[in-house]
Amino acid sequence: MSTTDFETEFETGAAACPGCSMASVAAQHARRQAGDQDETILVSLPTIHCAACINTVEQGLLALPHVKDARVNLTRKRATVHADPGTDPADIVADVERLGYEAHLLDSATLSGDAADRAGRDLLMRLAVAGFASMNVMLLSVAVWSGAEGATRDLFHWISAAIVMPAVAFSALPFFRNAWTALRAGHLNMDVPISLAILLALVTSLWETSLSGEHAYFDAAIALTFFLLTGRYLDHRTRSVARSAARELAALEVPKAWRVGADGDEKVDVATLSVGDMIRVHPGARMPVDGEITDGTSELDRSLLTGETVPVYAEPGRAVSAGEVNLTGPLVIRATAVGRDTSLHRMADLVAIAESGRSRYTSLADKAAKLYAPGVHILSALAFVGWLLYSGDLRVALNIAAAVLIITCPCALGLAVPAVTTAASGRLFRHGLLIKNATALERLAQVDTVMFDKTGTLTAGTPVLTNLEAIPPRDLQIALALAEGSAHPLSKALTQAARDAGVAPADISGITEVPGHGTEGVWQGQKVQLGRAAWVGAEPSDQTAAWLRIGDGAPQSFLFTDRLRDGAAETVAALKESGLRVILMSGDSPKAVQSLAETLGIDDWTAEALPADKADRINALSDQGAKVLMVGDGLNDTAALTAAHASISPASALDAARVASDIVLLGSSLSPLPEAIRTAGRSVRRIRENFTIATWYNIIAVPLAVAGLCSPLIAALAMSASSITVSLNALRVR
Amino acid sequence: MEVLSFLIPISLTLGIVGLIAFVWTVRSNQYDDPEGDARRILSDTYDDHPAEDEPPAR
């Protein structure tokens, strides 16, 4: 047996037997101790969904020699990889993609502190304590309700008090704190009636118990705390999931650049660059800063900034902006503006002045709270005063005021919104949509107009050849041979199309790429060129095209169009079918926009729109009373995304665009969009139903409480029943 | 009614045991990947690279 065989067998043996794997755990532990310099790489895996996916990714990564440890977290759709020092994170991403899963690199520095969600854990502990206490107290209360009397009843009340007092002091602290902050600032919020109800219930119950009274509300006080904390926790969790995912998206862009130094290039953080630095930008990379080209020629893709799809020629002396993508040849640029001063960030100023559609919106919960909080106080104060005047007994009056407060307390109201939003965001997340803003669902439900950007939103940003049939086979063979020698997106598209059509490349010698112009070679003694119009001597057109010239013959054009994004046609059709108005606004040339609009059946389209034009159009529509949903990905869309009533951007969008939007589309298909609008509509209906349910419970129980007929048993029943109905109703959204 | 002097302490103790167990699961990060854990149990391969325990943030 050779050494390799032995090793393989040893490996499989170790994996197969659980006992042996203790060794592996120990080894892993040792590695963790020793390998602090190990590269920790976080990879986002938006498409993984099952046990088999976990296995494929983990086993696939562990099989690589430089990977020490790989762990997939299915909930966060993320993998943590520990690899040898010096491993290029981009390699790991490529490896995962080879396994058949979409993968994006995450910046681990941006994500640090993400694991320990302290506020959430804190709420969960309080919730657990409240749950424990309320279960035990309920048990004792059942005995009292079913007829315990005299010393037994007093004993049970005292034990309840002993459990509830410390439990409330710990669990209800967040409410007390919020109420105190609100009162000090001189206004009312939902937490004021909550705190008042809990405290008043405890005080009257203690008083009653000390007088051997019949009614004590200890169970109500702790149950109230428990239900409200549940709502609070759900709310917090939905927000923190959105927050951590938003942070994850921010971490998607790993800001690194190659600075040209005296002793070769070094890889540095973009944040450390300063004006005057020389930076090398490789083909395929994005400009990290604004600057001027000092060396090299290439082509630039500016679609994310302006929406135009035709690449721009780049030569020394030309100014470039951060965010443009270098296509063919390496460029060296001298930085003229870095960080906050770049044009990328100046665009943010445009966003700042655009009045946000978000800030104009008052959420349903806020509207309810505004009506509710004063109403509750007035009602219980009236009951107190009324009974005090009628019976002249402070004890009776206080008891009734406490009962009114407990009954009216927004238990179901506190659950009505968070339970629905949690269920709906969970559902949308499974469909690949991430809700970033708390009120985004409610706003999305009101949308009646959808405005799309073209490049990168309705289209995938990758070109496809359109006039394959019109090209003579001989030209196609030559073009294929030339295109195979280049990594330019158009060349790749040409190669793909020609290969699919079964074309064999012609025999061409001396193929060289001329960065910024094209590829040339020699075919049967003649010079052949494939590249930009100006280079081969053709008439430039406003459509994306490459030109082939053989010897001195007339140039042959290869026309390209941007490939439609997956699900774009179905989405537009579905949106129109559900009665929404669809608008297309793009910064691209009229011809390109028109052809796309015709393909998708959009009648209302605008080409060559400037960023401000898009935002103006949205504001004009809003003034007419329309609720606009903006779907866009580029920097030229950010102002429009902010101004719109609701906004969605794909995960491939620039960071600035994602920050400006409420909802992020995680997958590469647009198809979850109509479903998202439907789900939003449904969840808002559920929220309204929940409010109605809660109100009906109050309408029935409040008169009983005011009349002094409400026993602790009725209070407990009303409270639990309404909370449970509301939660069950919310679950129907899933 | 003397039985109460056993029953109440016993029920409280059991409740506290449950509470402590829950607090422990939270502190030892057992809710980090509920979906993944639910699926992993169905997988045939032995999970020999368990998630690393991070010390709870205090």
User: Which CATH number characterizes residue A492's domain?
Assistant: 3.40.1110.10
CB A214 within 8 A of CB A141: no
SS3 content of chain A, % helix, strand, coil (to 5): 55, 20, 30
What is the rounded CA–CA span in Å between residue A290 and residue A310? 21
Nearest to A125 among B18, B26, B51 (CB): B26
**A448 shares its domain with A571:** yes
Q: Is the dihedral of CA A698, A700, A701, A706 positive or negative?
A: positive
pLDDT over threshold 80, residue B5: yes
What is the rounded CA–CA span in Å between residue A687 and residue A19? 53
Provide the greatest CA pair distance for chain A.
116
**A260 shares its domain with A338:** yes
With CB atoms and an 8 Å threshold, state whether A128 touches B23.
Answer: yes
Q: Give the count of domains, chain A.
A: 6
What is the rounded CA–CA span in Å between residue A232 and residue A124? 10
**A78-83 and A39-44 strand pairing:** antiparallel
Instruction: Give the mean pLDDT of chain B.
Output: 77
A623: helix, strand or coil: helix
**A440 shares its domain with A479:** no
CB A83 within 8 A of CB A41: yes
A28 touches chain B (CB under 8 A): yes
Total residue count of chain B as it appears in this document: 58
Nearest chain B Cα distance for residue A135, angstroms = 9
Backbone angles phi, psi at A369, to 5 degrees: -65, -40
A162 touches chain B (CB under 8 A): no
With CB atoms and an 8 Å threshold, state whether B43 touches A54.
Answer: yes
**A101 shares its domain with A162:** no
Nearest to B35 among A74, A116, A163 (CB): A74
- A304 lies in some domain: yes
B57 touches chain A (CB under 8 A): yes
- A60 lies in some domain: yes
With CB atoms and an 8 Å threshold, state whether B49 touches A62.
Answer: yes
What is the rounded CA–CA span in Å between residue B51 and residue A80? 10
- A328 lies in some domain: yes
B55 touches chain A (CB under 8 A): no
Contacts of B17 in chain A (CB under 8 A): none
Question: For residue A140, how many other CB atoms are within 10 A of its CB?
Answer: 22
What integer pLDDT is reported at residue A358 of this predicted model?
A: 59
What integer pLDDT is reported at residue A173 of this predicted model?
A: 92
Instruction: Tell me which of A24, A38, A71, A76 to substitute to probe the interface with B (most B C-beta atoms closer than 10 Å).
Output: A71
The CATH number of the domain holding residue A591 is 3.40.50.1000
Query: A313 - beta bridge partners?
Result: A299
Which two three-digit tokens encode residue A25? 């755990």
The CATH number of the domain holding residue A44 is 3.30.70.100
**A227 shares its domain with A371:** yes
Contacts of B43 in chain A (CB under 8 A): 51-52, 54-55
B16 touches chain A (CB under 8 A): yes
What is the rounded CA–CA span in Å between residue A298 and residue A488? 10
With CB atoms and an 8 Å threshold, state whether B43 touches A55.
Answer: yes
Nearest chain A Cα distance for residue B43, angstroms = 6
B5 touches chain A (CB under 8 A): no
**A664 shares its domain with A588:** yes
A218: helix, strand or coil: helix
What is the rounded CA–CA span in Å between residue A149 and residue A714? 19
Q: What is the mean predicted confidence (pLDDT) over B3-9?
A: 85
Nearest to B36 among A52, A69, A73 (CB): A73
With CB atoms and an 8 Å threshold, state whether A121 touches B26.
Answer: yes
Which two three-digit tokens encode residue A431? 């469909």
In chain B, which among 20-49 make CB contacts under 8 A with chain A? 22-23, 26, 29, 32-36, 39-40, 42-43, 45-46, 48-49
With CB atoms and an 8 Å threshold, state whether A128 touches B32.
Answer: no
Indicate if ipTM > 0.85: no
Contacts of A28 in chain B (CB under 8 A): 49
Give the domain range for residue A557. Answer: 464-562
Nearest chain A Cα distance for residue B34, angstroms = 7
- A628 lies in some domain: yes
Nearest to B43 among A16, A51, A118 (CB): A51
Q: Which of A106, A131, A158 is the last residue before a domain boundary?
A: A106
A707 touches chain B (CB under 8 A): no
A599 touches chain B (CB under 8 A): no
Which two three-digit tokens encode residue A733? 């959204």
What is the rounded CA–CA span in Å between residue A668 and residue A1? 49
A74 touches chain B (CB under 8 A): yes
Secondary structure (DSSP) of A194-254: HHHHHHHHHHHHHHHHHTT-S---HHHHHHHHHHHHHHHHHHHHHHHHHHHHHHHHHTTS-
CB A127 within 8 A of CB A171: yes
CB A289 within 8 A of CB A274: no
Which two three-digit tokens encode residue A102? 């979409």
- A113 lies in some domain: no
Strand runs (DSSP E) across A168-311, as ranges? 256-261, 264-269, 278-281, 290-295, 298-301
CB A401 within 8 A of CB A205: no
Alpha helix ranges (H) inside A501-581: 533-536, 568-577
Question: For residue A726, how many other CB atoms are within 10 A of its CB?
Answer: 28
What is the rounded CA–CA span in Å between residue A349 and residue A639? 9
What is the rounded CA–CA span in Å between residue A376 and residue A382? 10
**A147 shares its domain with A214:** yes
- Residues of A labelled catalytic: 453
Q: Which of A48, A72, A106 is the last residue before a domain boundary?
A: A106
Residue of B nearest to A120 (CA): B26
**A242 shares its domain with A373:** yes
**A256-261 and A581-585 strand pairing:** unpaired
Contacts of A71 in chain B (CB under 8 A): 49, 51-52
What is the rounded CA–CA span in Å between residue A708 and residue A32? 66
CB A39 within 8 A of CB A82: yes
Q: Which of A327, A350, A373 is the last residue before a domain boundary?
A: A350
With CB atoms and an 8 Å threshold, state whether A25 touches B34.
Answer: no
What is the rounded CA–CA span in Å between residue A594 and residue A149? 84
With CB atoms and an 8 Å threshold, state whether B51 touches A71.
Answer: yes
**A608 shares its domain with A670:** yes
Which two three-digit tokens encode residue A629? 């949903």
Instruction: Tell me which of B49, B54, B58 to substitute to probe the interface with A (most A C-beta atoms closer than 10 Å).
Output: B49
Query: For A617, how many CA atoms within 13 A lie in the half-sphere containing its CB?
Result: 25
The residue type at A154: D
Total residue count of chain A as it appears in this document: 734
**A370 shares its domain with A227:** yes
With CB atoms and an 8 Å threshold, state whether A51 touches B12.
Answer: no
Query: B22 - beta bridge partners?
Result: none
Nearest to A32 among B34, B39, B52 (CB): B52
- A231 lies in some domain: yes
- A296 lies in some domain: yes
SS3 content of chain B, % helix, strand, coil (to 5): 55, 0, 45
Backbone angles phi, psi at A604, to 5 degrees: -95, 100
CB A73 within 8 A of CB B33: yes
**A142 shares its domain with A240:** yes
Angle between helical axes of A218-250 and A411-430 (0-180°, round to 10): 30
Nearest to A136 among B15, B40, B50 (CB): B15
> Among candidates A196, A690, A167, which has minimal Cα distance to A414?
A690
**Torsion from C-alpha of A481, A486, A488, A489, nearest 10 degrees:** 50
**A159 shares its domain with A231:** yes
Query: What residue ranges of chain A have pLDDT lower than 50?
Result: 1-35, 114-116
Nearest to A128 among B22, B36, B52 (CB): B22
> Among candidates A414, A456, A718, A421, which has minimal Cα distance to A565?
A456
Contacts of B56 in chain A (CB under 8 A): 116, 121
- A111 lies in some domain: no
Q: Which residues contact A680 (CB under 8 A, 6 or more apart)?
A: A424, A441, A442, A444, A445
In chain A, which among 103-122 make CB contacts under 8 A with chain B? 115-116, 118, 121
Contacts of B39 in chain A (CB under 8 A): 50-51, 54, 74
Contacts of B45 in chain A (CB under 8 A): 15, 55, 59
What is the rounded CA–CA span in Å between residue A74 and residue A86? 27
With CB atoms and an 8 Å threshold, state whether A16 touches B46.
Answer: yes
What is the rounded CA–CA span in Å between residue A258 and residue A278? 9
What is the rounded CA–CA span in Å between residue A573 and residue A600? 8
